[in-house]
Amino acid sequence: MWEQQVAFWVIAVAMAGAAIGVVRANNVVHAALFLIVVFAGSAAQYILLLAEFVAWVQVLIYIGAIIVLFLFGVMLTRAPMREERGKLDNSQRLASAVVALFLFGVLAVFLIDAFGGTELRFRDSMVEVGSAASVGDSIFRQFVIPFEVVSMLLLAALVGAVALARRD
Amino acid sequence: MGTPYFDYHALAPVIVLAAVALLALVVDFVWKDGGRRAVPQIAGIGMLLALIPVFTLAADGETRVMFGGAFVVDNYALAFAGFFLIVGYVAVLLSYDYIDEGDYYRGEYYVLLLTSVLGMVVLASARDLITIFVAIETVTLPTFVLAGWRKHDIRSNEAAIKYFIIGVLSSAVMLYGMSLIFGLSNSTLLSEIGSVAGGDNPALFAVAIFLTLAGFAFKVSAVPFHFWAPDTYQGAPLPVTAFLSVASKAAGFVAMLSVVALGFFASPNSWQPVIWVLAAASIVVGNLAALRQTDVVRMLAYSSVAQGGFILVPLAVSGDNDAARAGFQGVLVYILIYAAMNMGAFACVIANARRTRSTEIQSFSGLGRSNPAMAVVFTVFLFSLAGIPPFAGWFAKFVMFRAVLDAGTTAAVVLGVLAAVFSVVAFFYYGTVIRRMWFHAAVDLGDTGSPRVPGALVAAMAITTTVVVVIGVYPQLFAKIGDLAFRAT
């Protein structure tokens, strides 16, 4: 299983670096491009975990649709794309860094305590679980109510977005 | 695997709401001029139509379980579903003239309102984490937009953005907690989470519970997660504020109650202290901050934070099996009563804001002389919020203190004493408004609106006043609902 370990760490480090890039970028477009790396990394992680269908959904929806929407949004609103260095800094960044590090520490300690040393063993039969067929089965059997409610939610989001954005 | 079992009778309230929301959207789109009048009517009638299956299901009395226990229609679910639909109807009444007279989109407003209520009705029946999460998002997402409905007012924009960012952040925290819970118990069903109770990893389970509850605490604006509430309440259109302070808050409490009662109950050491701190902090900070407000909406915002603390008190002391029943009932009864009195109070604020174009507390000066009927009604709601008999608020407080006494632990008694002390503090700020209305001469505010109180608002006040007075005088009726709701669980 060492290949998977190596692949995991390579992807994880790349994702963490790109995520820092997202918040550090002074240019909105650069931030969006960094975000592509993060999303692609998580898609790759899903593949490592045999969740094939979810991985492709991640690529299609997040990279294919959401990032493109971001870029269109930046283009259409003609908002300034670039800010001067330091202008985006928040005066409370020290406090938030302390909170973030504290949370990270707490979660890391407890997660390692709970799952440290646990090894994932993949079998061929698990490939079936991540397939489109079984995901579709669980969406339309066990989770059909949340699925239908989400469609109302998305409709409301659409209606609301149009109502707020429309020029009148 | 065959097709899943669908009980269309049990799903009928949800289906009716979805159909009505779509109908409203189509009518608004197709029938341009007539739609303006028709859509609010459709929304109001739709809420009442969805009540019919709630009553037939209640008459039937059978507990209906679907999807392996993920969606359950029992007395508890029906009590809250009916409650949410009535609140939704009152919200339509409050909105009618406000939205009609301002320069707003009407059709879309009611579609969003209906979708939000649909989320609440689903939430009442949801018994697994995914359904709960989706339902909560369906409740809150339309309200983000509604808070910013006064597009050209910078305060409304601020309200929407603050609420949106905090709401999304809290959802993320909640979802992270839920994902850890799923990782530990290998199921999203609350019943199975309850039986596993973290398994070999109680410490991580406690962290997961903490994160999930923190997410809910944002939704119910419990201290220290309340900072968005006053600004959002003040900036949003007033009917939306009423809806936010009652309905979406109640939805957060229902989610909290379901998750704690069915999922986390077996490990009280991990959720009880969290809720204890939230309750105590909300009572202290909410009441003290409300004392200093000069704007009635901000005052009601802090008062709703404080009332949220009171609602959490029974939950915070319900950790062991003997106290649980009284505790859960206390939460349910308090939420229902709080909704009636707060909705009513906002109806009066909306009516007064029409009259004076202001929400400052001093704009209520002399209301006792210029419109005694409304002043009496508002006084009733404020008395009720303060917990003075014979109005419903006293019964809510009574149920809360009974839960504290049933529990009888030191922590419960300390919380009970805090609640008692700050209930008295609350008299001061509710009393300020009452004094203004009856003992001060009217202040000239220059630009004044129309003194007439429109019919829809009168209807809303009538409904809420009736509830507040009837429950206050004859609380047994209401206690029965609480009893019924927890017979099954």
- Please tell me the distance from the alpha carbon of residue A24 to that of residue B282, in angstroms, as a whole number: 36
| Structure token digits, residue A155 | 């409709």
Contact with chain A for residue B20, Cβ under 8 A: no
- B8 contact residues in A (CB cutoff 8 A): none
pLDDT digits (tens, 9 = 90+) for A129-151: 888 888 888 888 888 899 999 99
User: What's the confidence (pLDDT) of residue B14?
Assistant: 92
Start-to-end CA distance of chain A, whole Å, equals 60
| Cα B219-B198-B261 angle, rounded to 5 deg | 45
Q: Is residue B69 part of a domain?
A: no
In a domain, B416, yes or no: yes
Render B411-447 in DSSP notation, one character per residue: HHHHHHHHHHHHHHHHHHHHHHHHHHHHHSPPPP-SS
For residue A89, give the 3-state DSSP assignment.
Answer: coil
Specify if B438 maps to a domain. Answer: yes
Are the C-beta atoms of B242 and B232 separated by less than 8 Å? no
Q: Are A149 and B135 in contact (CB < 8 Å)?
A: yes
Single-letter amino acid code for the residue at B165:
I
Element spanning B251, H or E: helix B249-258
Hey, which bits of B255-299 come out as E strands? none
Q: Is residue B252 within 8 Å of B219, Cβ to Cβ?
A: yes
Cβ count within 10 A of residue B316: 26
Summarised one tens digit per residue, pLDDT across range B324-372 is 777 888 888 888 889 989 999 999 988 888 877 778 888 888 788 888 8
Q: Which two tokens stand for residue B77?
A: 């679910």
A1 touches chain B (CB under 8 A): no
In sequence order, which ranges of chain A are alpha helices (DSSP H)? 2-24, 28-48, 52-57, 68-77, 93-115, 132-140, 144-165
B184 burial (CB, 10 Å; 0-12 / 13-18 / 19+) is buried
| pTM: predicted TM-score of the whole model, two decimal places | 0.91
Interface residue A157 vs chain B (CB under 8 A): yes
Taking only residues 119 to 138 of chain A, the set having a beta carbon closer than 8 angstroms to any beta carbon of chain B reads 137
Please give the structure tokens belonging to residue B440.
């001060």
CB pair distance less than 8 Å for B112 and A144 = no
Among B125, B169, B365, B372, which Cα is nearest to B262's?
B125
CA pair distance B433, B361, nearest whole angstrom: 6
The H-or-E segment that residue A21 falls in is helix A2-24
Q: What is the pLDDT of residues B78-109, one digit of tens each?
A: 888 998 999 999 999 988 888 777 777 778 89
Higher-confidence residue: B104 or B163? B163
pLDDT at A123: 80
ipTM of the complex: 0.89
From CA B341, how far away is CA A154, in angstroms rounded? 33
Distance (Å, whole) CA B412 – CA B397: 15
A55-67 in b/e form (b: 16+ CB < 10 A) is bebbbeebbeeeb
In angstroms, the CA A136 to CA A139 distance is 5
Phi, psi of B360 (to 5 degrees): -65, 150
State the number of CA atoms in the 13 A half-sphere of A61 facing the CB.
Answer: 8
Q: What is the pLDDT of residue B489?
A: 47
pLDDT tens track for A68-124: 988 888 888 776 767 676 677 778 888 988 999 999 999 999 889 888 888 877 787
Q: Give how far A151 is from chain B: nearest CA, Å.
A: 10
CA distance B336 to B316: 18
Structural domain contains residue B252: no
User: In sequence order, what are the residues at sequence separation of 6 or more whose Cβ sits closer than 8 angstroms to the Cβ of residue B241?
Assistant: B232, B233, B234, B297, B301, B346
Q: What is the mean pLDDT of chain B?
A: 85
Domain total for chain B? 1
Listed as own residue / partner, the contacts of A95-100 with beta carbons closer than 8 Å and 24 or more positions apart are: none
Q: Which of B130, B141, B151 sits opposite A156 (nearest CB)?
A: B141
B-chain residues near A106 (CB < 8 A):
207
> Which amino acid is it at B239?
P
Between chains, do B142 and A156 touch, taking CB under 8 Å as contact? yes
Task: Render pLDDT for B440-477 as a digit per residue (tens, 0 to 9).
Answer: 777 766 656 666 778 888 888 888 888 888 888 877 77
> For B299-308, what is each residue's pLDDT tens digit?
999 999 999 9
**CB contact (8 A) between residue A156 and residue B71:** no
CB-defined contacts A:B, below 8 A:
98
**B468 is a domain residue:** yes
Of B4, B141, B207, the CB nearest to A141: B4
Q: Kindly state whether residue B298 falls inside one of the protein's structural domains.
A: yes
User: Exposed, middle or buried: residue A102 (CB in 10 Å: 0-12, 13-18, 19+)?
Assistant: exposed
Q: What is the pLDDT of residues B208-247, one digit of tens each?
A: 899 999 989 988 888 888 888 888 998 888 899 999 998 8
User: Which helix (H) or strand (E) is A46 found in, with range?
Assistant: helix A28-48
Query: Among all residues of chain B, which has the CA nearest to that of A115?
Result: B201
Query: B209 near B233, Cβ under 8 Å?
Result: no
What is the residue range of B440's domain? 267-489
B371 close to B456: Cβ distance less than 8 angstroms:
no
Distance CA B153, CA A127 (A): 54
d(CA B181, CA B263): 10
Q: A-chain residues within 8 Å CB-CB of B3?
A: 141
Work out the angle at residue B215's Cα, subtended by the Cα atoms of residues B213 and B221, and round it to the nearest 5 degrees.
Answer: 95
- Of chain B, the percentage scoring pLDDT greater than 90 comes to 24
Return the half-sphere exposure (C-beta side, CA atoms, 13 A cut-off) of residue B228: 27
B203 in contact with chain A, both atoms CB, cutoff 8 A:
yes
Q: How far apart are CA B378 and CA B392, in angstroms?
A: 14
Residue B479 belongs to a domain: yes
For residue A86, the model assigns a pLDDT of 67
* Region of residue B441 (left: phi > 0; alpha: psi -120 to 50; beta: else): beta
Average pLDDT over residues B482-486: 70
Measure CB to CB from residue A145 to each of B3, B131, B133 and give the nearest one: B131
Distance from C-alpha of B132 to C-alpha of B135, rounded to nearest angstrom? 5
CA dihedral B405, B410, B413, B418 (to 10 degrees): -160
Query: Mean of the pLDDT values across residues B468-487?
Result: 75
> Judging by DSSP bridges, how do beta strands B71-73 and B64-66 pair with one another?
antiparallel
Q: Rounded to a whole number, what is the largest CA-CA distance in chain B?
A: 74
Distance between CA atoms of residues B50 and B85, nearest Å? 7
| Chain A residues inside the 8 Å CB shell of B70 | 142-143, 145
Contacts of A146 in chain B (CB under 8 A): 130-131, 133-135
Residue B157 DSSP SS3 = helix
The answer to whether residue B351 neighbours chain A at the CB level (below 8 Å) is: no
Cis-peptide, bond into residue B224, ω within 30° of zero? yes
Give burial (CB, 10 Å; 0-12/13-18/19+) of B149. buried
Q: At what angle do helices B410-439 and B372-386 cross, to 10 degrees?
A: 170
Structure tokens at B183: 């990782």
Which DSSP string do the residues of B22-54 spell out, in sequence order?
Answer: HHHHHHHHHSHHHHHHHHHHHHHHHHHHHHHHH
